[in-house]
Chains A and B, each alone.
Chain A
């Protein structure tokens, strides 16, 4: 076996190990997203959420979880496309803060009374926003880590191929 320096060993290891870091980060982002929607759907605020938007929200959550899981598997196997999927999903999670939670924060509560409370309390808003932000950050970090590792691996493989062709 040819002698390798530390940096080369690190690159060479990528050939035989999966990108578990990125994959696990994405799984945790799914968990954070689950905490977000459980907290929203358990709210007892009369029929405020009984509209088309909540249907879309449920469908989006299902699509998100499926896409994130696929991205996790793709990133684990150094598929560059899935790294970008993870980043896009992360950006969309940030966007979601300004959709249901912000709207609910400013909407009058139909059960308690419009004058006294809003649909979403400040405390709940903070929690769900934190869930979405954590989910987004994990996805973006996973995506960026994936891109770095995948490009490193691809260029290392190309380098090895070149060497092989030369010899």
Chain B
């Protein structure tokens, strides 16, 4: 396995549309990096540039210390797993997994051993004689992964591999990918728009929007200390509640409520006295009991948690309570906020 460096990578299409702006990333050997962001943010384009399926307009791509910016895809020693599996329907699982090595005219016995080893890792041994059409979506995706594993590439690329699976299968396959990563200790670049995948799989997450990298950090970094408003609202489910508040005498004041700030928070927003900032509160940081009245309009029981949606004056709010709640539309529940995040109104950057 190898390390991977993306230095000032940019992608400009022929019609002058710029898809990726100044992308910089150092991926350590054996690290699993997840590129996350909404559709059209440039994450797949970045992955395809690494794979060699898209030309790199400017910047450098270095794999294992070697500049491969201009190297043909087949010579980059990279394996890619696609969303739609891209399996050969007329070949058996065994043949699908062995195909790339057969093209390279590797020894048939060696191919056989590699395919069996990969099949065992992925629990596909009993499916080797079947054709993709006879397999479930999860099994097909495992075959696609197996095809990547047998090549023992320097870097694995995953382009939204779980998007075609139903929710249950997605979570099972996600666990398999995680186990696979631990077992192979492989360098992996994984693209998804699903933040749950990003948070559960990644060693580090790269959050992207409109072709720009918004933040690179561990899942906890992105969740706990989002760099800006975009990351704050994108990471976390349900998304963070946002309120425009004025900082006044150690309090966050808005038309509908006033919140006392802690000493640490006062220090953080000290430079914004008299100014309006955006305050973010995660639904899980809203607790029952307090001074802020929420007019409930829906109560969603999720088993262990309850999502209560309501209004605080003109502001919409989502609260995640750790109990089975039975609020009805029209009820009023008093809440308080635990951890608060503050963002500059103009730059949208976090105030730290």
Residues of A within 8 A of B (CB): 1, 4, 6, 9-10, 12-13, 15-17
Contact between A16 and B113 (Cβ–Cβ < 8 Å)?
A: no
Is the pair A1, B116 in contact by a Cβ cutoff of 8 Å?
Answer: yes
Contacts of B117 in A (CB 8 A): 1
Q: Would you call B94 and A9 a contact (CB within 8 A)? A: no
Contact partners of B200 in chain A: CB under 8 A? none
- What mask results when residues 95 to 125 of chain B are scored 1 for a CB within 8 Å of chain A, else 0? 1000000000000110011011100100000
Give 4 closest A-B pairs by Cβ, nearest first. Answer: A16-B94, A9-B109, A13-B112, A16-B128
Q: How far is the CB of A136 from chain B (nearest CB, A)?
A: 30
B129 touches A (CB below 8 Å): yes
Q: For the complex, count residues of B whose C-beta is within 8 A of A.
A: 13
Bound: A164/B115 CA distance, A: 21
Residues of chain B with a CB closer than 8 A to A17's CB: 94-95
Q: Which residues of chain A come closer than 8 Å to B112, judged between CB atoms?
A: 9, 12-13, 16
C-alpha spacing A6/B113, complex, angstroms: 10
Task: Given A16-B92, A16-B94, decide whether A4 and B113 contact each other with a Cβ distance below 8 A.
Answer: yes
- Write 25 A-B pairs (CB below 8 A) sorted by A numbering: A1-B113, A1-B116, A1-B117, A1-B120, A4-B113, A6-B109, A9-B109, A9-B112, A9-B113, A10-B109, A12-B112, A12-B116, A13-B108, A13-B109, A13-B112, A15-B128, A15-B129, A16-B92, A16-B94, A16-B112, A16-B115, A16-B128, A16-B129, A17-B94, A17-B95
Task: List the A side residues contacting B109 at CB < 8 Å.
Answer: 6, 9-10, 13
Inter-chain CA distance A9–B120, complex, in Å, is: 16
Q: Taking the nearest CB of chain A, how far is it from the CB of B271, in angstroms?
A: 63
Nearest residue in A to B97 (C-beta to C-beta)? Answer: A16
Interface residues of B in 107-165 (CB under 8 A from A): 108-109, 112-113, 115-117, 120, 128-129
Q: How far is the CB of A131 from chain B (nearest CB, A)?
A: 31
Closest Cβ–Cβ distance, residue B349 to chain A (whole Å):
52
Q: How far is the CB of A128 from chain B (nearest CB, A)?
A: 36
Residues of A within 8 A of B113 (CB): 1, 4, 9
Q: What's the nearest-Cβ distance from chain A to residue B117, in Å?
A: 5
Supplied contacts A9-B112, A12-B112, A13-B108, 8 more A-B pairs, CB within 8 Å: A1-B113, A1-B117, A1-B120, A13-B109, A13-B112, A15-B128, A16-B92, A16-B129
The distance in angstroms between the C-alpha atoms of A1 and B117, with both chains bound, is: 6
Whole-angstrom CA separation of A20 from B92 in the bound complex: 14
Chain B residues closer than 8 Å to A13, beta-carbon distance: 108-109, 112
* Docked complex Cα distance between A1 and B112 (Å): 12
Give the residues in chain A near B92, CB-CB below 8 Å: 16
Q: How far is the CA of A4 from the CA of B112 in the complex (A)?
A: 11
B73-103 interface mask toward A, CB cutoff 8 Å, 1 = contact, 0 = none?
0000000000000000000101100000000
Specify which of A6, A9, A12, A15 lies most central, judged by the most chain B CB atoms within 10 Å of its CB. A9
Closest-by-CB residue of B relative to A4 is B113
